[in-house]
Chain A
Amino acid sequence: MKDKIRIASGSGFWGDLQSIPLQQVTKGQVDYLMMDFLAEVTMSIMQKQRKRNPAAGYAKDLIQIMKEILPHVAEKNIKVITNGGGANPMGCVEEIVKCAHKQGIKGLKIAVVSGDDILDSLDDLLKRGAGLDNMESGQKITDVKERLISANVYFGARPIVEALKKGAQIVITGRTTDTSLTYAPMIHEFNWSWDDWDKLAAGTIAGHILECGGQASGGNFLGDWRSVSDLAHIGFPIAEAYPNGEIVITKHENTGGMVSVDTVSEQLMYEIGDPTNYITPECVADFTSIKLEQLEKDRVRVYGIKGKPATDLFKVSMAYNDGYTAIGSLTYSWPDALEKAKKADEILRTRLSDLGLEFDEIRTEFLGVNACHGPLASEQNEINEVVLRIGVRSNHHHDIEAFSKEIAPLILTGPPSVTGFAGGRPKANEVIAYWPALMPKKLVHPKVEIITT
């Protein structure tokens, strides 16, 4: 057994810095590269792409990334684990196999983890007691069932560990949890038992620290942000894991950013609810047990972690169509910038009302004044410029389009010193609403296939 493994974070979301994965596998020693691509509604976007083109539906960026890193990971035997397979992990793997062939890389084992997509088997699952009512609002699944675009189970580390045990060097999954991409290698390498809750929780917390990429190594840092050096060349976090469940968070030398108790603490707080019950498919982690210690520059020890038994439920992420939105904006300059923007808002609302349009909501914000902090922001008299931002939501596409036509006319028929309409009419966006639910684990099973190049 190895005495430690180094797991590098290569992506925090679909659209993250493209240069990072190559940097992570070339600027220093690592054993694993994990890349997270999936946010709450990402699966539904990918599902739509797949509907238009059966070969699509995964994180396209991943193919370019694999092209760049394949020679290095093959040479150094670095294992790559990612959920970038999205709604079409097999399609994604087929493209990666083509890349490997072009580069003359033979004998590479690639695993496909699927079975998370339950959209087509919903009726059957509901009959067998899946439940699937909205776990936050309590709304019944029947209210939205006909409008669903995607429905995916969050699998955890089990299928990834199975793939690694079968000798896979690259693991491409559909909807697996962000954290499992990091702790699956620990379970595999250190032979942790599936009921060793403290160690599974330690791995989970390492996963939580890595899953947002640069947010743990100095990006989006609200502490002393000026003290973070060279963000232009930020190094993404690396978890150095030990068999006893201790973790050291670090980054490659000669990269920018910062790994400190403060930067790690901020990431620990990100998007959590009750810190004593952080639920994953394999355990329940207690964030109040975490101890942090700065060992040296850019090395933070994470230890003392306690966990509790896993639940017998999987989380399910679903999405459904829920009308349209459009958002328009115009920029007003000094003098009286805010007063003019407010007047324009008033004129626009009157015209929308005269047209008899129906909206579920019309929302006005003044960027530069109160868009972020609402009533907490104090209004200043002599601001230089302000952006009027007005958004509408409706189930009627026609009403949204009618709204879009009313923005530009304000330039010639509203208050003066206005600009900022170069982008054309605002486009109608489809609203994809999120539906989180739970279902018994025993009703669904992941599938692991190995393809050799």
Chain B
Amino acid sequence: MSKIKLIDIAHGRSGDKGDAANVGIIAYNDDGYEIIKKHLTVENVKKHFEGICLGEVERFEMPNIRALNFLLHNTLGGGGTVSLKHDAQGKTLAAALLRMEIEI
């Protein structure tokens, strides 16, 4: 078993959809895609965002660009101008997911 950092094998982008954040994670190569597909499960992502994502996590696969898209519901403090968060649009949440370390 060895530990890898997600940020070494993937990049991504995040944004807002109302009070949900969308977090897209893109692997740099096919091996990386296999790793994120296996380890970035709904459960693992929900656990990673504990205290940030207060709702459900939805996951969508995009093998054509080696990517996974996550919708994190109830995450942005109400979203838009309702939110008191500094990052009310979840723009830094892709980076937040890339903090994850994975044991392979």
Contact = CB atoms under 8 A, between A and B. Distances in A.
Interface in A243-273: 262, 265-273
B80 A434 contact: yes
A55 interface: no
B22 A272 contact: yes
A26 interface: no
Contacts of B98: 222
Contacts of B71: 273
A271 B67 CA distance: 14
Given A265-B26, A273-B71, A376 B96 contact: yes
B39 interface: no
Contacts of A389: 86
B87 A372 contact: yes
B82 interface: yes
A222 B97 CA distance: 12
Given A262-B11, A269-B24, A375-B52, A433 B67 contact: no
A269 B13 contact: yes
A292 B13 contact: no
B84 A220 contact: no
A198 interface: no
Contacts of B41: none
A91 interface: no
B99 A392 contact: no
Contacts of B62: 269, 275, 287-288
Contact of A325 (B13, B17, B81): B81
B80 A361 contact: no
A297 to B, nearest CB: 19
A270 B13 contact: yes
B18 A291 contact: no
Contact of A265 (B22, B58, B65): B65
Contact of B95 (A222, A276, A361): A222
B12 interface: yes
Given A136-B18, A269-B22, A288 B81 contact: no
Interface in A403-433: 429-433
Interface string B72-84: 0000011111101
List the 10 shortest-distance A-B pairs measured between CB atoms, nearest first. Answer: A269-B24, A391-B84, A223-B11, A363-B84, A271-B15, A372-B92, A375-B51, A371-B86, A266-B13, A373-B96
